Amino acid sequence: MLVHPQFDPVAIALGPVQIHWYGLTYLVAFGLFLLLARLRAAQPQFAQAGWTKQDVEDLLFYGVVGVIVGGRLGYALFYKPGEYLAHPLEILQVWKGGMSFHGGLLGVIGAMALFARRKGRSFLEVTDFVAPCVPTGLASGRIGNFINGELWGRAADPSLPWAMVFPQSGSLTPRHPSQLYQFALEGLLLFVVLWLYSRHPRPTGRVSGAFLIGYGSLRFTAEYFREPDSFLGLLALNMSMGQWLCVPMVLAGIGLWIWSGRAVGSAR
């Protein structure tokens, strides 16, 4: 079976300055967003609507703030509310780790709502624009998880060719490299589907709904291979916290998909 390579978490050391792999994956994520969003802005439906390079750069700024603030607050509220309520200042200690995708998503939604208001655009127009540019950033983040040897998978059959031992787990149990599963599913696969689907004009809200359904469904599936957080374990119905957070996400996506279709129909 395979053994996790035990990467040095520091990618580049220049004297006292240390650049961690995880920080580099965030930079890659933001760079990919900038590239893809500029391509989106050049598509006819958005170019005609007046989207500019400055809009893309502003979106990136709003998105970065939303991801960091929402991701950190989401982790504190969803995963360790008791601990952070007792020591609220520790929420600011982001260098100690602890980010939640679902919290980050809520943070980005709030940031996009503020961007839409200041730019005089509809909220769903903004989220439809952004949605296909997000999965590559998620993929980059999962590579960071793998390099750090964190968020490892559940125990796997030792005969599985890619079963991997993660020494960081404190055991020699072969496990699913669930970080790579998520990289492939909610990163690459979701990006390809959304990018191809959104190349042509769609009813307002339809691309956003597709993102919510797609990510929620793929993350829900990947959670069956990911080891639940040790301090939470499995919750009701033997589902992890990540799965429970995906349920309202998928339901919201389905509701948005149905609403966007009816809105088009009523407009006719």
Known binding positions: 142
- Among residues 225, 224, 220, 222, which one has the least CA distance to residue 164? 225
What does the alpha-carbon distance between residue 115 and residue 122 come to, in Å, rounded to a whole number? 10
In our burial notation (b when 16+ CB lie closer than 10 A, e otherwise), range 65-83 reads ebbebbbbbbbbebbbeee
Helix (H, G, I), strand (E, B) or coil at 20: strand
Q: Rounded to the nearest 10 degrees, what angle do helices 53-78 and 101-119 cross at? A: 140
- Between the two ends of the chain, the Cα-to-Cα distance in Å is 60
Tell me the C-alpha distance between 245 and 163, whole Å.
Answer: 27
Cβ neighbors of 130 (< 8 A, separation 6 or more) are 37, 59, 63, 108, 112
Distances (CA, A) of 240 to 25, 79, 142, 222, 230: 26, 11, 18, 11, 11
Are the C-beta atoms of 201 and 252 separated by less than 8 Å? no
d(Cα 73, Cα 87) in Å, to the nearest integer?
Answer: 13
Interacting residues of 154 by C-beta distance below 8 A, sequence separation 6+: 175, 176, 178, 224, 225, 226, 227
